[in-house]
Structure 1
Amino acid sequence: MQMIRHLLLPLLPLLAVLGILGAVPVQAEEMPTFTLVMRAGRFLPETIEVPANTKFRLLVKNEGPGAEEFESVELRKEKVLAPGASSFLIFQPLKPGTYKFFGEFHPATAQGRIVAK
């Protein structure tokens, strides 16, 4: 048994490509992506409208001179970015409504909201 496993292990990638190990789901449509820029202690845009009941990606870019954080208590999301860095967050479908977020390092000015319609 050990010898058979040793012989088949290198073939697993090829078997997967050929579909012998099972079908791989293909996304029919790309996930909607929205961009949020952090600059000078503010979020641009301050309001992001997203489709309700739809999974989406939020691309976050820090164009400021210092670190900044995207944080939303009600959405249970946070992401700290160094200057010049970018990253993304994936959001599960949101019910219609308004969801606030803020920047931990500039809480007085870095305020925003996601509006699911």
Structure 2
Amino acid sequence: MKVLLAVGLLLLCFSLPSVARTSERTVLSLTLTDSSFLPAELTVSAGKKLLIRMTNRSNRVAELESYDMKFEKIAPQGRTISVFAGPLRPGKYRFFDDYSLSGYNGWLTVRKE
């Protein structure tokens, strides 16, 4: 019984920090279609950590990338991926599908709080 209690407390200790970190993030949703990102422009407050979830609804493999926000991740067709960014200063940050021949891109505007 003591072993089970110790294991339970240990698991609780390791899970609490991740819950706290998740609640401090701003979650943004994005969809890639065969013709563009939806929405093509996102807006957040400065100083926040970001979690960007992109669902690839296009008919091909894509890669969500941003030189400005320093991430890149392959997005298989029909799947949702997550990337992390921030905290960011006020400004405009570009993201794009690196595998797109048409140059699909979007913008994240970070405004002062």
1:35 paired residue among 26, 29, 35: 29
- The structure that has the greater radius of gyration is 1
Q: Give the alignment partner of residue 96 of structure 1, picking from 87, 90, 111.
A: 90
**Unpaired stretches in structure 2, ≥5 consecutive residues:** none
Higher strand share: 2
How many residues in Structure 1 have an aligned counterpart in Structure 2?
Answer: 107
Q: How does the TM-score come out when normalised to structure 1?
A: 0.76
Runs (4+) of structure 1 moved beyond 3 Å? 8-12
- After superposition, residues 1-117 of structure 1 pair within 5 angstroms as 12-16=6-10, 24-25=16-17, 27=20, 30=23, 31-117=25-111
**Normalising to structure 2: TM-score of the pair?**
0.78
Q: Gaps spanning 5+ residues in structure 1: where?
A: 1-7
In structure 2, the CA distance between the partners of 1:14 and 1:73, relative to structure 1 (3 Å rule), is same
Task: Output the aligned Cα RMSD.
Answer: 2.8
Question: Identity over the aligned pairs, expressed in percent?
Answer: 25
Q: Deviations over 1:61-105 (max 9, x none)?
A: 001110111111122101111110101112121000001111112
Decide whether the 8 Å contact of 1:56 with 1:92 is kept in 2: yes
